[in-house]
A and B are shown apart, each in its own frame.
Chain A
Amino acid sequence: MTAQPICVFGNTACAWDIAARLGQAGLAVTLAAPGEACAPPAGLGQPGAPPIQTLPGVRLDACRGGPGHFDLLFSGGNTTQRITAAALVVAEADERRPNFAPYQLERGPAVLALSDLHQLGCRPPASGAAWQQVVFLSGLATESQPLIAGEVMAAALALQTRAGAQCAVLTGNLKVAAEGLEALAREARAAGVLFFKFANTVPAFHTGEGGRVRVRFVDDPTGEEFTLAPDLVVVDETVRPSGEAVALGRILGLESDPAGFVQAENVHRLPTSTNRRGVVVAGPARAFGPDPAVEASNAVLDVLESLSTGAAGRPAAEIEPGRCIRCLTCFRLCPYGAVALDERPRVVPAACERCGICAAECPREAIRIPGLERRDLHALIASGRPADPGSVPHIVAFACARSAGPAARAAVDAGRGWDASLNLVEVPCAGGLPAEVILSAFGRGADGVLVLTCHEDNCHSRHGNRLAQQRVDQAGAFLDRAGIGSGRLALKTLAANMPTELSAIVTEFSQTLTGLRREAKTTRT
């Protein structure tokens, strides 16, 4: 179906697994990584497996195009290379940062990071003395994660049982929300590992001669003071995406989360999709400690799905060349990276999600989305106008198709009602509604207008809900100036599973409108 390869970024086990599975699915695969040593881990790449082309020692400098046809520009050494790819998979590495600084400790023979201990094979170096007493620090500076807590407990158990050490784990909240960890904690405790948990106080560390650390603390449950003088302190680690992953995300225009992982914390991106169609992110740079096999399956499915749905279906936004003044508003605001810059901005049809943000924000009204043009919306607004203006208010509600739309259908299915005539105009994203369209409802029979959009951080189009709020504020100011009153316009946020709240919102708004009508009558008489 596609002759162009899939480009997988990264030299991680996850990247190789994804590349191999894509190869088995009959797709050509190119694996690109910045390191020169770019080889599959043991077990992969055996004879008979489809070949995976590698691009070692390269970095991505630029990416253009969209699903089905990305143009990638790489540099490496003194050369540049250009390839095209049908889809992209970011499967780069994470990196571990030891938490020495928060405890005011420094790495030395008596203070190691968790990874240092792993490299030593969980035993003292041949040249050093035995470890009689070992203290592990876990999740005291910042909250830990199950993966790290599991490694801490496994290491403590190993030293306790195999090296004859007395181990103590000093922890904040012990993170056991992963398979087998509660049982591991019990096993470690049964083997003699001591656990001290801290909620109200923190241990104090004093580094003495020879780098040995004294640990003083008050035990929360008993209130007793303890001083430990361990031979070794093992410091836990914080996991972050690698610099390479962050750089790739930036070049590809991908969203990131507060810790810098290359995927927004937005439920619409679950599990491995991004804000760009045809760009998939999987493995340790996507999120903290995901299951590699689950990541690989999901990434492969996402690629296959993007290849089959690419440009199919609905028409994309179009920029009218005669009207465009190249202000690049569309380029800046498109949440999906669907606007490319040639001599002038151009929409990459396969990447467009039809949110309408570009069209609503274009100062020249140079962008149209077939089926979502102003006249289409005007027609929909008018189509719901009641033939006979009844005693109840007529409300036009613009509803996001991912939240309020399904919530309204669920409300009707559940037999929930409201004392109003409601015309629900479902749009892909309320961020695509120009203020003019919102206001036009008042000229088409609406007593009030609701804009029902998604919660902050739950917008498929990233900030469409915020843009909708801005337009509602603009429109409200106009209504005040026009003497209609901004009380006839409201924005509310909802999720698809909130039919109860939706009917409450409509009912309450209807009551507000009835009140306004009564007020107006009183003023007139």
Chain B
Amino acid sequence: MTEHRVLIIGGGIGGLTAARTLAPFGVRVDLIERSPFLGGHAARLSCKATDRCVKCGACLVPEALAAAASDPRITIHLGSRVVGACTPSQRFSFTIHRHAAQAASTPGSARTDPPGTPVAGEADAVVLTTGFKVFDPRDKAYGHGIFPNVITNLELEDMLRTGGAAVKPSDGASPRRAAFIQCVGSRDAKIGHLWCSAFCCGAALRAARKIKAGRPDTDITVFYIDIQTFGRDFDSFHRQCRREMRFVRAIPGDAFQAADGRIRLAYIEDGSRRSVEELFDLVVLSTGMQPPDDVKATASGLGLPLTPFGFAASAAEPGVFAAGAVRGPMTIADTIADARHAAGRVLEFLGRHGPHRPAPAAEGLLSRGTIIPRCG
């Protein structure tokens, strides 16, 4: 069988999943990632298990990363981007430009060409998995970037991932009263974002419960339009949240910082229609997803049309596919399924869609007893 090569643009959970799915079928993969790290936004998410797993899928990222990085059929180009058109003729010709110095911690098969060296390559199919851009909350009057105690959902993830708790950036203390504002940059006709970002309700409520589990005396208020269903046991999870937190069906219009550093939110109360003001120690903005800035250029280079909202279509030209959040807001679980779907279509396109002989499996799940020396 001839050797087939596939170019995957974007090294988040979508690109990693597509790569590790294709490689065992004997396909050689070039995986291009713009940043110096693999894993994308999914790698930023914390585990929000409390007494049990909350099924967000963030823990699947290390496994996908290790699988892609250890497969000799996958070449990973970090800090790189595809320059110029990726021309679909007989094959796709492309040029990779490495713009960043090698990252501190690189997977085994990462290319180590010096920055600036163009690398030319060819591929029989291309998969676009460049994910999404996070809505910039500075476009809203919540004072993000000005008031230290107004943070985004991803900044909260960083806190939970690295410190295990939510703190006020102003003084590092635990917040007594915290608020989540949903739909920041989603479901917003004023900015033309006529979509729900699909992951933020789950992420916010799971994070809120994680905060409550660590500090049960934290008062949490969730400002929302509609709480979206997530997980398979949503009714009971949602009821549990309603018992533990306050839900206000309103989106505050703006935020001000009080003299003591607390954040004052004003919103219209249901029923009375009055404007109500409340003070919070920490405000978390659930910033939504939007198409990446360069999706138009990348997609048009590949002959891939965009949806009316500017996300990529799933396929167009023969041999060109898109998967994951570049097609529209998706959770980690949906992205994994979608990336495998794209990989399956690539294999059908290449005619490799049959039973295959895998590379010999690594011997033994049981590793040697690893001695990790004292390093503290």
Contacts and interface: CB of A to CB of B under 8 A. Distances in A.
Interface in B215-229: 226-229
A425 interface: yes
B343 A426 contact: no
A312 B55 contact: no
A383 B369 contact: yes
Nearest to A458: B53
Interface string B221-254: 0000011111111111010000000010100000
Contacts of B375: 412, 415, 417-418
Interface in A352-391: 354, 371-372, 376, 380-381, 383-384, 390
B63 interface: yes
A69 B366 CA distance: 27
Nearest to B307: A179
Interface stretch (B44-52, B144-152, B173-181): B44-52
B47 A312 contact: no
A498 B249 CA distance: 34
Contact of B365 (A175, A307, A314): A314
B172 interface: no
Nearest to A223: B271
Max chain A Cβ within 10 angstroms of own Cβ: one of B59, B328, B333, B376: B59
A421 B365 contact: no
B365 A408 contact: no
Contact of A403 (B46, B59, B164): B59
Nearest to B268: A221
Interface in B23-54: 24-25, 43, 45-47, 49, 51-53
A408 B372 contact: yes
A228 to B, nearest CB: 20
A380 B357 CA distance: 33
A307 to B, nearest CB: 5
A3 to B, nearest CB: 11
A313 interface: yes
Contact of B164 (A177, A183, A381, A501): A501
Contact of B374 (A258, A287, A420, A454): A420
B307 to A, nearest CB: 8
A312 B363 CA distance: 11
A402 B55 contact: no
Contacts of B360: 312-313
B121 interface: no
Interface in A236-295: 257-259, 261, 265-267, 270-272, 287-288, 290-291, 293-294
Interface string A406-424: 1110101111011111111
Interface string A485-525: 00000000111111011001001000000000000000000
A428 B366 CA distance: 6
Nearest to A265: B232
Interface string A18-35: 000100111100000000
Contact of A497 (B47, B337, B368): B47
Contacts of A344: none
A421 B373 contact: yes
Given A271-B340, A380-B369, A146 B229 contact: yes
Interface stretch (B78-86, B189-197, B297-305): B189-197
A407 to B, nearest CB: 8
A145 B366 CA distance: 42
B339 to A, nearest CB: 10
B367 interface: yes
B336 to A, nearest CB: 6
Interface of B: 21, 24-25, 43, 45-47, 49, 51-53, 55-63, 66, 105, 161-164, 187, 189, 194-196, 198, 201, 226-236, 238, 247, 249, 270-273, 308-309, 328-329, 333, 336-338, 340-341, 343-345, 347-348, 353-358, 360-361, 363-376
Given A25-B354, A406-B63, A421-B374, 10 more contacts: A25-B353, A174-B226, A175-B226, A177-B198, A199-B247, A267-B53, A293-B341, A407-B62, A426-B369, A496-B60
